[in-house]
Amino acid sequence: MNLKEMVGYKAAEFVKNGMTVGLGTGSTAYYMVEALGKRVKEEGLNIVGVTTSYETADHARDLDIPLKDIDEVEKIDLTIDGADEISSQYNGIKGGGAAHLFEKIVANLSDRNIWIVDETKLVEKLGAFPLPVEVIQFGSGQLFNLFKEKGYKPTWRNNKEGERLVTDAGNLIIDLNLGVIENPHELAKWLDSLTGVVEHGLFLDCVNTVIVGTSEGPIVEEVNRDN
């Protein structure tokens, strides 16, 4: 069992009967969805899934996991998703799979968030992984130029055909190659203030549990969010 599969199956153990569960997107979340589908089939696990991408929705339907649209639920009990980086302060960068807009909407509606990663995703400070910024298409070049002037080394996110990737919401993604983000809260606030920016990949102060895959087995780290 690889590390992604290990943490995906471990995270599925946190799901209980009757829960509304946010289903993340990406290569690690894929295994979590697989594990939940197996529990639905073999244990009769009774859950409702809310997906963070069309790709995950298709996968869940193939496994007969009942789904609802996010606007059909009052809240989400638990969301399980991957992350591209997690800092020592338990803040994260997400969006490598171009789903961070839907992922953040689902996360914000959730009572509890679990991130599942392998140990290579743990860093002291965020920023080595490019920060995705989802922008509307109109005026996106102006935002690209602004990021360039700031020294953020922007690049357009392209699809496999080499064309600009269009997200499930119909937007574009500009990746910022920052190296190190010294003050993620300050950067998030600035990005939030820009007209035309729909969402960015900084996920701050929102995770409750991190499950890390290591060669010795999965490690479950609980995050204190009382402060």
Residue ranges for the known binding site for substrate are 25-28, 81-84, 94-97, 121
| CA separation for the pair 140, 137 (Å, rounded) | 5
* Domains contained in the chain, CATH given: 3-123+204-222 (3.40.50.1360), 131-199 (3.30.70.260)
The candidate with the shortest Cα–Cα distance to 181, out of 139, 153, 162, 160, is 153
Residues 200, 27, 55, CA angle at the centre, nearest 5°? 75
pLDDT at residue 224 in the model = 82
Residue 103 annotated to the active site: yes
What is the per-residue pLDDT for 110? 97
What is residue 206's predicted lDDT score, i.e. its pLDDT? 96
Low-confidence ranges of the chain (pLDDT < 50): 227
Pair of tokens at residue 135: 């922008």
| Chain segment 85-110, per-residue pLDDT in tens | 999 999 999 999 999 999 999 999 99
Taking only the tens place, the pLDDT of each residue in 35-67 is: 999 999 999 999 999 999 999 999 999 999 999
Measured between alpha carbons, how far is 29 from 34 in angstroms, rounded to an integer? 9
Output the pLDDT for position 131: 98
For residue 10, the model assigns a pLDDT of 97
Whole-prediction pTM: 0.95
pLDDT for the residue 3:
93
Identified catalytic residue from 85, 103, 134, 199: 103
